[in-house]
Structure 1
């Protein structure tokens, strides 16, 4: 019995020790969560403690980021529609018995229908008083070139904003960095000593501005390069269609 009592007492002591360790670990985790939630140098603290210049810089970066993602999504949808229209024109327009019949087979908002209508109109209105001195080849070519340039201009819309954001966002973030460092130096000058609690906030503000500036600029640059490459492929489809239509209108086989 004595031996069993000793074992029982040892088990009770071990269980008590484990429970104490568990409570200590739980308390440590709770304290760690409290520290992470109440971070005085995070983004919320930057907005709460920042002055008008810091808040304005942050708002500008947010607007740049929102505009970048909006334009990227819109341009991707627009390019996807143009690629779909190119496939539709290849399947329907060139299998029609005439240009007029092919135009009717395309959707009204199709870029390729717009080019076909402009070319068909130029071919059938040539020879008027003002256009009599221009040969048919040049007249149709100019009309198709104008239509192609119009579509190309629509595809290019918005890309200038991405290029601007990609080139200026790092400097806007750098301005926020300089402003944060200025605050740190001011705090040191007022306090008369470089204690960590005096400089941690402004330096953290500076680092956050730098990070946000880079986070805004990198997607803008990558999106610009990707969209420009896709635009080139889309315009190639449009120019190929325009060139074939030019030959058809001159030949009169599908007029």
Structure 2
């Protein structure tokens, strides 16, 4: 418990800074663990959904197969956009359905890709913020801890290297704590951002294939 004696003896600013670093660390690890699980499932499900779609005999069967596999709802909105574009036109249509079939499909696929990017990019802003903010929070704790230690030592009658080394060295722990919080957050941001980008690229490729094959509005024999 002696190694934490400096924190117990610190003032409200020192303790609040330490609690803030702890909260940032917990938040970043919760985000990284959940996001890692989500991305791992998505990396398995998206290729299976795409393969199941192209192996189906008709659009209804393809949608049912994709819905059974796509637990995160990443591929199904793209299929629904294609299905909506191929439905018979109503007598009175909104502006979104009055354009060319290719434009309607493009609009639907773009909206589906945007909805899919939400879960994939979830938590990235928080990780980037923690990776940027934590070192400065640790530095603030260090500066304030040194100031607090020097203030206490100023009241003593004799000040030497031995008296300064312990409190100042303990205050520097806050800088190390800030780096310990920031480094995992930055690594998680980079690695998980790269993984999410690969999944988004695969979804974009699938959307491009749908647009290329069915964007002209002509019914396909296999999908009619």
Q: So what's the TM-score if we normalise by structure 1?
A: 0.78
Among 197, 222, 237, the alignment partner of 2:187 is 222
Question: Closer, same or farther in 2 for the Cα pair 1:181/1:129, shift >3 Å?
Answer: same
**Greater RCO (Cα-Cα under 8 Å, separation 6 or more):** 2
Query: 1:123 — aligned with what?
Result: 86
Which of 9, 27, 34 aligns to 1:74? It is 34
Q: Which residue pairs with 2:60 in the alignment?
A: 100
Of 112, 115, 124, 2:75 maps to 112
- For residue 249 of structure 1, report the CA deviation from its aligned partner: 2.9
- Shift in Å at residue 175 of structure 1? 0.5
Instruction: Return 66-75 or 102-111, whichever deviates more.
Output: 102-111
Question: Structure 1 stretches of 5 or more lacking a match?
Answer: 1-37
Query: 1:85: which partner in 2?
Result: 45
Give the TM-score of the pair, scaled to structure 2.
0.88
Contact 1:68 1:162 in 2 (8 A): yes
Change (3 A) 1:157 1:125: farther
* Matched position secondary structure for 2:172: helix
Q: What is the rounded CA distance, in whole Å, between the counterparts of 1:46 and 1:103 in structure 2?
A: 62
Residues 64-88 of structure 1: CA deviation (Å, up to 9, x unaligned): 1111111111111111122112221
Bigger CA radius of gyration: 1
Whole-Å separation in 1 of the counterparts to 2:51 and 2:93: 38
1:1-255 aligned at under 5 Å gives the runs 40=2, 42=3, 44-106=4-66, 107=68, 109=71, 110-124=73-87, 126=89, 128-131=92-95, 133-196=98-161, 198-250=163-215, 251-253=218-220, 254-255=223-224
Pairwise CA distance, 1:52: 1.5
Alpha-carbon distance between aligned partners in 2 of 1:204 and 1:211, rounded to the nearest angstrom: 11
1 or 2, which has the higher helix percentage? 1
Q: CA deviation at 1:93?
A: 1.1
CA distance in 1, matches of 2:204, 2:89: 22
Gaps of 5+ in 2: none
Total equivalences in the alignment: 215
CA distance in 1, matches of 2:181, 2:146: 21
Give the Cα separation in 2 of the matches to 1:252 and 1:66.
53
